[in-house]
Amino acid sequence: MTETGSADLDRLLQGKVALVTGAGQGIGRGMALALGKAGAALAIADLDGGRATSVVEELRTIGVDAEPFTCDVGDRGQVEATVAAIIDRFGRFDILVNNAQASRVGIRFEDTRDEDLHLAFNSGTWGTFYCMRAAFPHLRDAGNGRIINLASSSSTHGRPLHAAYAAAKEAIRGLTKVAANEWGVHGITVNVICPNAVTPAGEKFAREHPEAAQAALMQRAIRRRGDAEHDIGATVVFLAGPGAGFITGQTLHVNGGGVTVP
């Protein structure tokens, strides 16, 4: 068993305000816990308001200042209202983590429907774009703004049966690289994480495609699945912190390595 990292990095992010989208469960929840333990105040946005509220209750229990927002990130008006509400509630905005994503996977390319692309792009690509555009002036004003977008090695490696998902995620990497080059002058860094972690979505995929899931695990250099808080969250805390201010436009695979496996 290999060790996981520690996300509790001496309250490195004290005084910062972070928004994590799709943080009602899974990797989003884990990243929110890590950011909160590192000292940040948290805006928790999710399409499912009940999930957002329960993560906020969890954060408040451990002393983190947090607020839930019910928000479909694929809806420009809802995103703009959420960002305005974050400024009202917290007075500043430093860290944006674009994590929300819905998709149907496990579909052959030729069977992929228009709706599959719309679902993946609305929640992933449009959601990331709307959040980045709305957050930009606040991150610029705060100084040392940080944006971390979630993509996937399924997109960077072109994993079979993931056409709509991969297309949406590669578009997010395009947005990331352009914003990094435009906004670096304001001290804002923009990076991508391609994670692997045990989550409800991952468990569902493993149940539906057990052989593919086992094969993926066996080809991973570090033969375990990641931990949302202690592996992915710890990386986000680093990228959001002062030690990562010279890293931008990059894609970081936080997935236990491996040669061929997404």
Ligand X SMILES: NC(=O)c1ccc[n+]([C@@H]2O[C@H](COP(=O)([O-])OP(=O)(O)OC[C@H]3O[C@@H](n4cnc5c(N)ncnc54)[C@H](O)[C@@H]3O)[C@@H](O)[C@H]2O)c1
- Interaction of residue 125 with ligand X, rule CB under 6 A: no
- Interaction of residue 168 with ligand X, rule CB under 6 A: no
Give the residue from 59, 67, 51 showing the smallest Cα distance to 35: 59
- Interaction of residue 26 with ligand X, rule CB under 6 A: yes
CA distance 180 to 167: 20
Q: Are 63 and 33 in contact (CB under 8 A)?
A: no
- Binding part of the chain for ligand X, among 100-108, 109-117, 237-245, 246-254 by CB under 6 A, reads 100-108
- Minimum distance of ligand X from residue 147's CB (angstroms): 14
> How many residues touch ligand X (CB under 6 A)?
30
Alpha helices in the chain (DSSP H): 26-37, 49-61, 76-90, 114-120, 127-142, 153-156, 163-183, 200-208, 210-218, 234-240
Q: Which residues pair with 17 in a beta bridge?
A: 41
**DSSP conformation class of 5:** P
- Interaction of residue 256 with ligand X, rule CB under 6 A: no
Give the residue from 123, 104, 126 showing the smallest Cα distance to 113: 104
Cβ proximity to ligand X: between 9 and 217 the closer is 217
Q: Which of 5, 36, 68, 195 binds ligand X (CB under 6 A)?
A: 195
- Interaction of residue 199 with ligand X, rule CB under 6 A: yes
Cβ proximity to ligand X: between 143 and 210 the closer is 210
Cβ proximity to ligand X: between 38 and 172 the closer is 172
Which residues have a catalytic role annotated?
165
